[in-house]
Chains A and B, each alone.
Chain A
Amino acid sequence: MKPPIYSYKPTDLTGTALDVFTVENITRRRFIVGAGGLLGAAALGACGAPGGSAPTAGPTTTRTVTDMYGQVTVPAEPKRVFCNYDDSLACALALNLPVVAGPGERGKGDTPFPAFLTPDQVVGITKLDSYPTPNLEQLAALNLDLIINTTPIPEYVESLKGIAPVFTYDVYGAAGWRKGFETLANTFDRSQLAADWLASVDARAAQLKATLHQGTPRSFALGYAAADGSLWFYPGLPAYSSLLNEVGFAEAGFAKGRTGDIQLAAELVPTMDADVFMFIDYEPGDPALRQALVASPLWPKNVTTFAVTSAETYPAPQSFLALFDSVEKALL
């Protein structure tokens, strides 16, 4: 007796035979579609990790700290840190945190890093190619163990949390830039380093204050020149308050008591009652607008002007030291 031949014939609930996908019934179209899909998947896989896998952060002890959003668990001694903005990048480098990636370049013509950072300070730091929102795939490939964030947008923070612990602090805090810097330092046991930096900033500011203002403090303003001939001031910038409070400048009359962004329309520029006006330039600096404004017959002749870079206005100690150097060079 011949053994029965078992043949599986799938049917649907009504008993109708289903078209089964077997080797026997591969059509040319199915073959092309399938092979194309496999090739596509292989190509995508090959694109995934161009430089091989990044070093991993390795096992580490953690601690629970409080940031802007409550309690977060971060590595006690982070090994691979991403800073999402140049201000926190500068602060992290000042505190000797092991930064492996920073924000993308803000634009053509800008230097990859703030000018006050020396080349040896930025060796090995990857600048991501998307600004202002980092490329999450790039971030994930970096095997980070900490993200230092200064962008207080909850949805943004949530998206970063899937990659590494996120520590968010208020870099432009109402309590002043020092408070933010100290918060970052205290979180990672670098209080002494922060104290040393702040002491050097204090000393430099005091020295500048003593040499700049022999008599009445000079009044000053800090802002941008716009293409329509107007000037814009940002009293909320830490650099603004630092120069007022620490270096002893007086606030220009037109800005007194005003908060938020202040526009000085082109025809009010002659009324600008500041002794010193500091233009904020992008790096490497495009002086065309500034030069046109100063060359105008309406520019008040008694105002001393000079340019500082936008990086010199970041709330970070190296930035302030650079700013003080620029002020001294221009005014003394």
Chain B
Amino acid sequence: MTTLTAKPTPSRALRIARSRPMLLLGLLAGAGLLALAMMSSIAFGAADIDAPTVWQALVAFNPESTQHLIIRTLRVPRAAVAVLVGAALGVSGALMQGLTRNPLGDTGILGINTGAALGVVTAVFFLNISSLSLYALFAFAGAALTAAAVYGLGSLGRGGPTPLKLTIAGAALTALLSSFTTGILILNQRTLEEVRFWLAGSVAGRDLNLLLQAAPYLLIGLVLALALGRQITTITLGDDVARGLGQRTGWVKGLSALAVVLLAGGAVAVAGPIGFIGLVIPHVVRFLVGVDYRWILPYSALLGAIFLVISDVAARLVLRPTELPVGVMTALIGGPFFVYLVRWRVKR
């Protein structure tokens, strides 16, 4: 496991780039980029709709117009879902990397995706559910229970929840729950048919009602995470140092884990398991802003949202008019980029 620490002597240009005014400016620029990405998400899709009609649909909605309906009932909710889910995944990934001091850390370590998948698959198998809002309920329950179990197991013994114990507990439970999920899917054709789209991760077909159900969890998780920025930065220096600086590490870790569950659990409940954002985005952000989690977390939210919105647009356009699940697209974009990033860091 590698401890994430700053380079001892950053160059002058880097120091300027990471100065407070520049970082604030960067956040503003990111917000602008996000707005552009959202506009492209609303403007482009399987159906050809010209720009004036898109604008009319936003400012002078006509419920009789099919094109306006497409914009308002499909594309706007989809863009909003992508923003919130992307932000949640980015922040939860950053929190996990900080919490476990593991550069490969993401919410998968707490078994969030696996628990959510088992929750949905079990509910489809035993209860025959098929609506996305019920999927969300069971996904969140599965994610929360699994995360609690991993955290509980990882906290046993002396020293409380150490990165190593959390990682081992997460890997063990993930393997166990994955085998349950696979078993049900193999034995049950109907369940496989019903959840295979959900398992790929997608923001398509999610309406505002679904988003509103999950929004409180996501927003509370975001606020909690952003409030913990300073404490997470200290924890990345090591538990002993953090305790030496007077930090109550148990509380910080517990609250961070709670934020991760709210964020990643809410995200997976709405959109299914979407990979790579929680892994890649914090690395990009750390390259841009350094090791201070007071900046890493908001930047991760912003870049996570931008990345997911752009990936979703690409998923709609790359095989147009067929749409790919956005989870496939994030892996297609994120995988090679991550390899590049690793090679670049090794070279440096």
Contact = CB atoms under 8 A, between A and B. Distances in A.
Contacts of A132: 189
Nearest to A264: B321
B66 interface: yes
B130 A288 contact: yes
Interface string A285-320: 010110010001110000000000000000000000
Contacts of B194: 227
B70 A270 contact: yes
B197 A268 contact: no
B73 A227 contact: no
Given A267-B46, A267-B47, A228 B204 contact: yes
B21 interface: no
Contacts of B230: none
Nearest to B206: A228
B197 A227 contact: yes
B74 A266 contact: yes
Contacts of B190: 106-110, 282
A279 B70 CA distance: 22
Contacts, number: 91
Contact of B205 (A110, A227, A271, A288): A227
B11 interface: no
A276 B284 CA distance: 51
Contact of A108 (B63, B74, B126, B205): B126
Contacts of B187: 130-131
A227 B316 contact: no
Contacts of A271: 47
Given A227-B130, A227-B197, A265 B45 contact: yes
A267 B130 CA distance: 21
Contacts of A226: 197, 205
B323 A230 contact: yes
A286 B130 contact: yes
Interface residues of A, number: 29
A263 interface: yes
Interface string A217-233: 00000000011111000
A227 B132 contact: yes
Interface string B92-105: 00000000000000
A267 B70 contact: yes
Interface in A255-278: 263-268, 270-271
Interface in B189-217: 189-191, 193-194, 197-198, 202, 204-206
A282 B47 CA distance: 30
B40 interface: no
A109 B73 contact: no
Contacts of B204: 228-230, 265-266
Interface in B32-47: 45-47
Interface in B64-115: 66, 69-70, 73-75
A162 B178 CA distance: 33
Interface string B112-136: 0000000000000110101110010
B5 interface: no
A267 B197 CA distance: 17
Contact of B322 (A106, A108, A265): A265
Contacts of B189: 106-107, 131-132
Contacts of B205: 226-230, 266
Nearest to B189: A106
B179 interface: no
Nearest to A254: B321
B56 interface: no
Given A107-B189, A265-B204, 19 more contacts: A106-B188, A107-B188, A107-B190, A108-B126, A131-B187, A132-B189, A226-B205, A227-B131, A227-B194, A228-B197, A228-B205, A229-B74, A265-B47, A266-B205, A267-B74, A268-B321, A292-B131, A297-B73, A298-B74
10 contacts: A107-B188, A227-B132, A227-B197, A230-B205, A264-B321, A266-B205, A270-B69, A288-B130, A298-B66, A298-B73
- The 9 A-B residue pairs with the shortest CB-CB distance in the complex, in nearest-first order: A107-B190, A228-B205, A229-B205, A265-B46, A106-B189, A228-B204, A107-B188, A267-B47, A267-B70
